[in-house]
Amino acid sequence: MHDSFSLQLPFILASNSPRRKEILTQAGFQFAVLPSDVDESFSTDIPPQQVPVMLAERKAQALIESCGNSLVLAADTVVILENEILNKPADKQEALRMLQKLSGKTHEVVTGIALASPNGLVTASDSAWVRFRELADWEMEWYVRGGASLDKAGAYGVQDFIGMAGIEKLEGSFYTVMGLPIYQVYQLLKPFILESKQMPLGI
């Protein structure tokens, strides 16, 4: 277990996503989890790329009052195919239809992040482009049957079987596709990291 960064303020992740928790932990952050329960509907007039930032901001703002003097990180990920957002599937049939749409095509994944702090609220977003090879029917059906597709935008996880075996090209950050552009999160959190650069390594 590696050391964690010490932050000036309590750090809260406004998401119950196992992927986001894993990425933050691996990056060296300690945090509490407090999922933000907000309305995730949006107007179809909004450009698809702006939706995740708007939703992340909404999630962070929902916790600002109750969390007071803390750092609150919220995120939202969307999968965009031919200008259409593929949300989390409602059931396995919809998950299968989504994978059939993504098969053999390139789509965009956008993750928006929002960090609320005593200094105010800042947002950022990152895009990656993912290309699936032509997926066999049995591959999609086997993956969907396992249930892993149901809690994920676009009905797939880049770290799951279908991502490992089906993605032939990925341009951008793997972590953006997984659900949290950690390099951007780190830049937003950097001002709140307690200085430890002068400490001896003790090797």
**In sequence order, what E strands does 100-140 have?**
106-117, 120-132
Which of the residues 3, 76, 91, 137 is marked catalytic? 76
Instruction: Report pLDDT for 41.
Output: 82
From CA 174, how far away is CA 95, in angstroms rounded? 22
pLDDT band at 196 (very low <50, low <70, confident <90, very high): low
What pLDDT is attached to residue 181? 98
pTM: 0.91
- Going along the chain from its start, the domains and CATH numbers come out as 11-192 (3.90.950.10)
Strand 106-117 to strand 84-86: parallel, antiparallel, or no bridges (unpaired)?
A: unpaired
pLDDT at 2: 58
Res 75: pLDDT:
97
Q: What is the tens place of the pLDDT at every residue in 45-83?
A: 899 999 999 999 999 999 888 887 899 999 999 999 999
Instruction: For residue 76, indicate whether it is catalytic.
Output: yes
The answer to whether 130 touches 153, Cβ cutoff 8 Å, is no
